Amino acid sequence: MSGWFEEKLELDKGRCIRIEYKKLLESYKSKFQKIDIYDTVPFGKMLVHDDVIMLTEFDEANYHEMIAHVPFNVHPNPEKILIIGGGDGGTLKESLKHPEVKTAHVCEIDRDVIRLCKKYFPYLSSGFDNSKVEVFFKDGAEFVKEKENFYQVIIVDSSDPIGPAEILFQEDFYNNIYRALTQDGILVTQSESFLYHWNIIKNIASFKKKIFPVYYYYYTLVPTYPSGMIGFSFCSKKYDPIADFKLKKADILYDLKYYNKHIHKAAFTLPQSFLQLLRNI
């Protein structure tokens, strides 16, 4: 049955996203959340968790390419990597385009996300069958406590700071991630929109800047996310995302829709008012 999907995450602020769909393909209540897959009119198939849009076929590359290729084109040798969340497989798919990766761990709390994405988004989730990949169905915050000096790159591909993902926006979690990274490790996390979510960004930036010697915010354009864009935190023990950017690595990437070497640099160029906010933290 066709109809209209409304994401009401920002409704208390007088705004929402409304998307017409042809059919609700599946609705499943997992142990952790409600998972819906729609076939939409403008954006192809759409994944929704607890009535919040996670991805659409139309613009998923804008997110997945930017969360993955920015850190991988800065670190010279990311052999061991961890993705926390990312059950749709998109971040993993992009990460595996880098031949230096020898071990890719995915820690996803909800096994039903992976199951349903394999069914409805097979082009995204194909990386789960790669021999380099090991999947752990655990709480990411608990998982990183078990590791020390292990990963060159960690990516936190989480949903918004509500429900199962709330703990992934807290200071203790990032102290544990710091310990799990090697001495030259890089962390990238989903970090909300600088147009809408200043308070959230200010909070997480305040402790990330204390924990990591290098901190930057960068962004990408995703029309189906609130405000049409979303940002990331680039946190590093050593490498600068601009000064240490490896142009040659970016040039050999393939099958891209959004990311390129020019976008990499431009994504760190921020509006003056937001720059001032970050400087004052």
Q: 3-state class of 190 per DSSP? A: strand
Token pair of 155, please? 């990516």
What is the set of active-site residues?
Answer: 157
Q: Helix 198-211 crosses helix 171-180 at what angle (to 10 degrees)?
A: 40
Q: Which neighbouring-strand residues pair with 18?
A: 6
Contact 188, 71 (CB under 8 A): yes
Exposure on the CB side of residue 249, measured as CA atoms within 13 A: 20
**CB within 8 Å of 268: residues ≥ 6 apart:** 216, 217, 218, 241, 242
**CB within 8 Å of 156: residues ≥ 6 apart:** 84, 85, 140, 168, 177, 187, 188, 189, 190
